[in-house]
A and B are shown apart, each in its own frame.
Chain A
Amino acid sequence: MSSDDEAPTADGGTASQSEAVEDRRSEEHPLEWDEPENNDKAPDERDSVSHRTEKYDDRKLVTGQAKYTADYEERYPDLAYAAVVRSDIPHGRVTDIDTSDAEAMDGVDAVLTPESDAVPDGKYTSAGQSYPEPSPWDMHVLNKHVRYIGDPIAAVAAEDRTTATAAVEAIEVSYEEYDYVTDPEAAFDENAPQLFEDVEVENEIVGHDYDRNRMAHIGGELGDVAAALDGETHVHETEWETIRQSHANVEKHTSLAYTNEDDRHVLITSTQVPNHTRRQLAHLFDIPIRDIRVQKPRVGGGFGGKQAMVVEPIPLALSLATDRPVLYEASREEEFYAMRSRHPMKVKAKTAVTDEGDIVAIDIYALSNTGAYGSHGMTVAGNVGSKPLPLYSKVPNARFEADIVHTNTPQTGAMRGYGAPQGTLALEGHLDEVARDLGLDPIEFRRRHHMEVGDLDEIAGMMGGEGANRRIRSCGLDECIERGKDAIGYDDLEQPDEDHLHRGIGMALSAQGTGVAGDELGAAQIMMNEDGSFHLQVGGVDIGTGADTAFLQIAAEVLGCDEDDIIVKSADTDVTPFDYGAYASSTTYISGMAVKKAAEDAKARILHWGSKLLEEPVEELETGDGTVYSEASGDSVTLEDIGYEAAYGGDEREHILGKGTHCTEESPPPFAAQFADVTVDETTGEFEVQKLVVAVDCGVAINPGMAEGQIEGANHMSYEMAVSDGITLDDEGRAEIADFDEYGLPSATETPPIESILVETHEPTGPFGAKSVAEVPTNTVPPALSNAVRDAVGVRIREMPITADKIKTQLDERNS
C-alpha cells in the first residue's frame, strides 16, 4: 500500500550546513555528562540498590492478605454491582433501548442509557496519556452509534452480580444496521463503510482522513532513502504480520466508585494511570479535579491494558445515579472483546545493502488496525519505527511511515512494547534474511551497524525533529550478544541424530526507550518520623512489577537506613504527589529519580541536624546504617536521635521533609539480545523450542531478582506473540475467545525454559545508573524464532503465529 505525501521529511542540507549542525548537536547532546551525585558507586559499595531485597508486599501476596480492588467489597455493605449492555452488531445506530423489564426487576437500582442525566455525553479518549492526549477524542461513555461488537450502550447497577447480569439480559436494543468493515486494507478503500464523520471527533491527529477510515498518518525521514534505494545496491523487501494479542491480566479490569463524607468522588481502581484517570473523569463529568480521588490498591497486572480509563466512568455514573458505592468488574469474556488488545499490524521492511554488506538505507512502513477507536493509535504506530530503528544508528538513510486505520473490530490500546514488538519482528526478521541471502553471518552483519556508546542517534529525532536527537551514554549490546551466544551454545550446535529433525538458532536485537523524552513527570516526598523512620509518598504506580520496592531501595540507599524503616505509599491522588503513571518503561527511571531527589532533600536536613548534634561540619558527615557519622572523628548519631531532636529540641524545630520532582528530555534505550533454540521436524513442520535466552542491558538493576522476573515475564509474553493465535475474530469482528482455555496463553508445560542475563552498564541520567527493563524483552521472540526456523530448515515464516502448518506448507512448496 502506498502512502501519500503528508509525511514530514527531514532536510538533507548542504555539507557546510551539516557540519554546523553537527557542532550544535554536539553542544546540545554532549557525550560527557555531569554524573548525578551518588550515581557512581560500585555495586559492592551500595547498601540497598543492586541487592536482591525482598519485595515489600510479597508476604501479604503469598498469604492472600493483599487487597486488590474487588477485595474492598466487604468494606461497603450497601455496595451495588454494575453490568454493561454491549453492542451485538458490528456497526449501526441504536434506535431504541427498552429498559422496562430490567427496571421492574427486584434488586435493580439504576439503568443508564446514553440519554440519562448521570451519563456524560462529551467526547473523550480512553488512552491514559498526558494532556492533551495524543489520541483522538472519539468515544462516548455510552453509545448510540455503535462501531464494534462490544461497544457499551447501557449500564445497570443492582444488589448483586446475578441480578445485574439478569437485568442486562432483559434489556432490548433495536438498531439500524450499517455496513461494516473488519479488514484494515479494505477499510482504507474510499468505498469502504465509514466509521466516523470529521465532526464526531475532537482532538484530531495528524494525517487523519476519516473519509478513508484513516485515524492518522505519520512518518519521518533521515537522509534520502529513495536515492539510496535507486543506487548500486541489493534491494530487499519483506512483509510481516502480527497478532491481536490480549493483555490477559489475571485480575480483570475492576473499579469501585462512591461519594465520601466530604462529598468527594472516590475511585478505588485497578489502573496504571491514577492522575490521568482523575483528570479525564473530571473533564468528562464536569467535576473539579480536586473533588475526585483515585486510589490504586494492589493491581493484578496491567501490561498497558490499564493505561487507559477503560471501565471507571461506568461505576462513577452509576454511583452518582444511585447514591451508593458501585463495583464494576469486567467479565473474563469482556476482557477479550471489550477491553483492549495489542494493535495487529502489517509491516513492510525494505533495505538497500551494498556488495560489501553495508546497509545504506532502511525503509519501514506499517499499517496498523486500531479497531473501532483511536486510543494510543498514533503513538503505538510511531514506536514501530522509533524504537527498533535506532538500533542501526550508523545507517545513513532511514524512513518510517505508518497509516492507522479504523475497522469495526474490538478496541486496541497500549501494550507492553508499545509498537516495538511489531517493528522489531519486521526489522530483525528482515535483516536476518538479508544477511543469509548475502551469505553473511547474521550476527556479524548486525554488529557492523548497531549502535554504540557515543553515537548521536538521529533516527530518534527523525520524526520528532532535530531536538529529539539523543546521545547514547550507555550501551551493552556487544556484551548482550556475547553472553547470549555463550548461554545458548551458538558456536557448538549439535544436530539431532534423526535425519528429519533439524536444529537451528535464531537471534534478534532490540532497543526500547525509558520514559517518553520531554513528556514525563514524577514526584515524591519523604517525611521523617521522630523515631528515625520515614514515610515515602510517591506518585509512581506499582502494578505488580515491584516498583514500590525499587523506590524503597533508592530511598534507603540515599538515607542510609534499612528498607524496613521506610513505609511507602504510592499512587493515591489525595496523598501522593503527581505522576504520569506506570507506562513507557518510565517508573524506575522517572519516579525513581523523583524518589532519589526527595531522599536527597531530606538527607540535607538530616545532615544539618547531625552537624548540630555532632558539632562537626556537614561536609564531614555521611548517612549509613541508620546513623549520621563522621569518618574524620568516628562519632555518630542515630537517625532516631535526629528525629527526636528535630521534632522536640531547640528553638529551630522542624518536621524533616524532602521533596523531589523529576522530568527530563532523556529517554535512554535499554538493549536486548534474544536467542531461540528450535528443533523442526521437516516431515511435519512441528517444532519444539528447547530454550530461550535473553540478555538485557538495563543499566544498573536496582533489584536484580525483580529485574530477572520482569525479563522472563516479558519474554514469555513475547513467546506468546510468536506462537499463539491471539484474539481471533469472526467475519463480523466478533471475538471468538471467551476464556483463558480458548485464548491459548502458553501454559507452564507449553513455555520453554527462559534464561535471563543481566548485562550491567551505567546510565548516567538514571537513578544510580538505572534505565528500563520491562518492555525491551517483549519485542524479541517472534523475530528470533522466525530466524531460528529459517536457520533450521530454510523456510521463513513472516505471518505470526509461527505454526507447524505454516512451516509444513512452505517446506512442501519448496520441495515441489
Chain B
Amino acid sequence: MDIELTINGERTTVEAGSADDLATVLRQHGYIGVKCGCDGGTCGASKVFVDGEVRMACGMAAVDADGSEIQTVAALGTQNDLHPVQQAFVDNFAVQCGFCIPGMVIQAVALLDSNPDPTEREVREALDDNVCRCTGYQKPVEAVLDAAERMRGAQSVAADGGHSVTVSPNANESTRCCGGDCDE
C-alpha cells in the first residue's frame, strides 16, 4: 500500500508491504543513516524521530507510520554544520566504527530536549538500549554531557567551512529539523 510520510521535512509517498518495517522502507529511499544492527528492536541503531518521539524504526511497521513526520540523523546537521550533539561526539572521540552513532545521536538529542542538564546517570539511562561495541560508553556519555553544557550555554559551535551555528538555550523542534533543506 502507499503511505504518506514527511521525511526530514520532505513530503513523500512510499510503497510499503504490510510486513515491511520502517527502517527497511527508509533505507530503500536512501536514508542510510538508519542502521540495522539487530533484527528487531534490541540494538538502537535504527532510532529515528516519529512525530517527535524516538522509535526504533526496525521494530515498527512502516504502515503504522502513515501520515507521520520522521526525522533521521541526517536532519540534525550537515557535515559542515553539525548539531551540537554531533559536534560533541566528534570532539570527544566518541565515534569509532560509527555504526551505532546515528541511533545514539538521536537518543541524546531527545534526552537533551527534555532534560537540558542531565546527570551522568541520566545520560547512561537514556543510552541504555543503544548497543555500542567499540567505545564502551565512556566517551559517548562524556560527549552527551559536553553537548548539554554547550547547548545550555548557547555556545557558538565551531563548524568547518567557515560556518558556525548558534544553538538556542532551549533546544527544541527547530534544532532537530532543518526545515526541508536537508540533503540526505
Q: Which residues of A contact B (CB under 8 A)?
A: 52, 54-55, 57-68, 70-71, 73-74, 162, 247-252, 298-301, 303, 331-333, 543-546, 705-706, 708-710, 712-717, 719, 739-741, 745, 747-749, 751, 753-754, 756
Q: How far is the CA of A719 from the CA of B136 in the complex (A)?
A: 10
**With contact pairs A63-B78, A250-B99 given, residues A748 and B124 touching in the complex (Cβ less than 8 Å):** yes
**With contact pairs A67-B32, A333-B39, A740-B131 given, residues A545 and B96 touching in the complex (Cβ less than 8 Å):** yes
Name 9 interchain pairs, CB-CB below 8 A, sorted by A. Answer: A64-B31, A64-B32, A64-B74, A67-B32, A300-B98, A716-B138, A747-B131, A748-B124, A749-B128
Give the residue name and chain of the B residue nearest to A709 (CB): B93
Q: How far is the CA of A247 from the CA of B97 in the complex (A)?
A: 14
Within 8 Å by CB of B90, from A59, A715, A747, A749, lies A59
Enumerate B66-90 residues with CB–CB distance to A below 8 Å: 72-74, 76-79, 82, 86, 89-90
Chain B residues whose C-beta falls within 8 Å of the C-beta of A252 in the assembled complex = 37
B136/A751 in contact, CB under 8 A: yes
Which 6 interchain pairs have the tightest Cβ spacing? Answer: A64-B33, A716-B136, A544-B97, A61-B98, A300-B99, A705-B93
Min Cβ gap B106→A in Å is 10
- Hey, what's the 0/1 contact readout for B83-125 against A, CB within 8 Å counting as 1? 0001001111111111111100100000000000000010111
Q: How far is the CA of A331 from the CA of B39 in the complex (A)?
A: 7
A713/B134 in contact, CB under 8 A: yes
Give the residue name and chain of the A residue nearest to B105 (CB): A62
Beyond A63-B78, A65-B32, A716-B137, 19 extra complex contacts between A and B, CB < 8 Å: A54-B91, A62-B95, A66-B98, A250-B131, A251-B35, A251-B37, A300-B35, A301-B96, A301-B99, A301-B134, A332-B37, A546-B96, A712-B135, A712-B136, A712-B138, A739-B39, A739-B40, A748-B130, A748-B137
Chain B residues whose C-beta falls within 8 Å of the C-beta of A66 in the assembled complex = 98
Give the residue name and chain of the B residue nearest to A300 (CB): B99
**With contact pairs A62-B89, A749-B128 given, residues A300 and B33 touching in the complex (Cβ less than 8 Å):** no
**With contact pairs A63-B76, A63-B77, A332-B39 given, residues A248 and B133 touching in the complex (Cβ less than 8 Å):** yes
Give the residue name and chain of the B residue nearest to A246 (CB): B133
A62/B138 in contact, CB under 8 A: no
| Interface flag for B127 (CB, 8 Å) | yes
B128/A747 in contact, CB under 8 A: yes
Chain A residues whose C-beta falls within 8 Å of the C-beta of B73 in the assembled complex = 62-64
| Interface flag for B141 (CB, 8 Å) | yes
Q: How far is the CA of A301 from the CA of B96 in the complex (A)?
A: 8
Within 8 Å by CB of A65, from B27, B33, B121, lies B33
Q: How far is the CA of A208 from the CA of B2 in the complex (A)?
A: 61
Chain B residues whose C-beta falls within 8 Å of the C-beta of A717 in the assembled complex = 133, 136
Give the residue name and chain of the B residue nearest to A564 (CB): B160
Chain A residues whose C-beta falls within 8 Å of the C-beta of B133 in the assembled complex = 247-250, 301, 303, 713, 717, 745
Q: How far is the CA of A563 from the CA of B22 in the complex (A)?
A: 39
**With contact pairs A300-B99, A543-B97, A708-B93 given, residues A748 and B76 touching in the complex (Cβ less than 8 Å):** no
Chain B residues whose C-beta falls within 8 Å of the C-beta of A300 in the assembled complex = 35, 37, 97-99
A58/B136 in contact, CB under 8 A: no
Chain A residues whose C-beta falls within 8 Å of the C-beta of B90 in the assembled complex = 54-55, 58-59, 62
Chain A residues whose C-beta falls within 8 Å of the C-beta of B62 in the assembled complex = none
**With contact pairs A70-B36, A301-B97, A740-B43 given, residues A60 and B138 touching in the complex (Cβ less than 8 Å):** no
Chain A residues whose C-beta falls within 8 Å of the C-beta of B82 in the assembled complex = 59, 62-63
B134/A709 in contact, CB under 8 A: yes
- Main SS of chain B's interface residues? loop
Chain B residues touching A, range: 35 or more
Chain B residues whose C-beta falls within 8 Å of the C-beta of A54 in the assembled complex = 90-91
A250/B45 in contact, CB under 8 A: yes
Enumerate B139-184 residues with CB–CB distance to A below 8 Å: 139-141, 160, 184
B136/A61 in contact, CB under 8 A: no
Chain A residues whose C-beta falls within 8 Å of the C-beta of B32 in the assembled complex = 64-65, 67, 71, 74
Q: How far is the CA of A701 from the CA of B172 in the complex (A)?
A: 39
Give the residue name and chain of the B residue nearest to A739 (CB): B42
| Interface flag for B7 (CB, 8 Å) | no
Give the residue name and chain of the B residue nearest to A329 (CB): B36
| Interface flag for B129 (CB, 8 Å) | yes
Q: How far is the CA of A712 from the CA of B134 in the complex (A)?
A: 9
A61/B138 in contact, CB under 8 A: no
A61/B124 in contact, CB under 8 A: no
Give the residue name and chain of the A residue nearest to B37 (CB): A250
Give the residue name and chain of the A residue nearest to B183 (CB): A65
| Interface flag for B34 (CB, 8 Å) | yes
A544/B98 in contact, CB under 8 A: yes
Chain B residues whose C-beta falls within 8 Å of the C-beta of A706 in the assembled complex = 93
**With contact pairs A55-B93, A252-B37, A747-B128 given, residues A68 and B138 touching in the complex (Cβ less than 8 Å):** no
Q: How far is the CA of A60 from the CA of B139 in the complex (A)?
A: 18
Within 8 Å by CB of A58, from B28, B38, B95, B125, lies B95
Min Cβ gap B111→A in Å is 12
Min Cβ gap B133→A in Å is 5
Chain A residues whose C-beta falls within 8 Å of the C-beta of B129 in the assembled complex = 747
B72/A754 in contact, CB under 8 A: no
Within 8 Å by CB of A748, from B28, B45, B89, B128, lies B128
A73/B27 in contact, CB under 8 A: yes
Min Cβ gap B4→A in Å is 22
**With contact pairs A62-B95, A63-B78, A65-B33 given, residues A740 and B38 touching in the complex (Cβ less than 8 Å):** yes
Chain B residues whose C-beta falls within 8 Å of the C-beta of A709 in the assembled complex = 93-94, 96, 134-135, 139
| Interface flag for B1 (CB, 8 Å) | no
Q: How far is the CA of A203 from the CA of B74 in the complex (A)?
A: 50
| Interface flag for B132 (CB, 8 Å) | yes
Within 8 Å by CB of B43, from A250, A298, A303, lies A250
Min Cβ gap A57→B in Å is 7
**With contact pairs A62-B86, A250-B43 given, residues A52 and B93 touching in the complex (Cβ less than 8 Å):** yes
Min Cβ gap B82→A in Å is 7
Chain A residues whose C-beta falls within 8 Å of the C-beta of B28 in the assembled complex = 74
B98/A62 in contact, CB under 8 A: yes
Min Cβ gap A165→B in Å is 10
A544/B96 in contact, CB under 8 A: yes
Chain B residues whose C-beta falls within 8 Å of the C-beta of A708 in the assembled complex = 93, 139
Min Cβ gap A789→B in Å is 21
Within 8 Å by CB of A63, from B27, B74, B137, lies B74
Give the residue name and chain of the A residue nearest to B27 (CB): A73
Which residue of A250, A545, A747 has the most chain B CB atoms within 10 A of its CB atom? Answer: A250
Q: How far is the CA of A66 from the CA of B184 in the complex (A)?
A: 11
Min Cβ gap A22→B in Å is 44
Min Cβ gap B84→A in Å is 11
Q: How far is the CA of A719 from the CA of B133 in the complex (A)?
A: 12
Which residue of B76, B77, B131 has the most chain A CB atoms within 10 A of its CB atom? Answer: B131
Q: How far is the CA of A748 from the CA of B93 in the complex (A)?
A: 17
B30/A74 in contact, CB under 8 A: yes
Min Cβ gap A421→B in Å is 15
Q: How far is the CA of A753 from the CA of B141 in the complex (A)?
A: 10
Which residue of A74, A249, A749 has the most chain B CB atoms within 10 A of its CB atom? Answer: A749
B99/A68 in contact, CB under 8 A: yes
Min Cβ gap B146→A in Å is 13
**With contact pairs A298-B98, A332-B37 given, residues A751 and B93 touching in the complex (Cβ less than 8 Å):** no
Min Cβ gap B73→A in Å is 4
Which residue of B43, B72, B130 has the most chain A CB atoms within 10 A of its CB atom? Answer: B43
Enumerate B17-54 residues with CB–CB distance to A below 8 Å: 19, 27-28, 30-40, 42-43, 45
Chain A residues whose C-beta falls within 8 Å of the C-beta of B34 in the assembled complex = 64
Chain B residues whose C-beta falls within 8 Å of the C-beta of A715 in the assembled complex = 136
Chain B residues whose C-beta falls within 8 Å of the C-beta of A57 in the assembled complex = 98
A65/B74 in contact, CB under 8 A: yes
Min Cβ gap A570→B in Å is 14
Chain A residues whose C-beta falls within 8 Å of the C-beta of B137 in the assembled complex = 716, 747-748, 751
Chain B residues whose C-beta falls within 8 Å of the C-beta of A712 in the assembled complex = 135-136, 138-139
Min Cβ gap A529→B in Å is 21
Give the residue name and chain of the A residue nearest to B19 (CB): A162
Q: How far is the CA of A740 from the CA of B102 in the complex (A)?
A: 18
B138/A250 in contact, CB under 8 A: no
B138/A753 in contact, CB under 8 A: yes
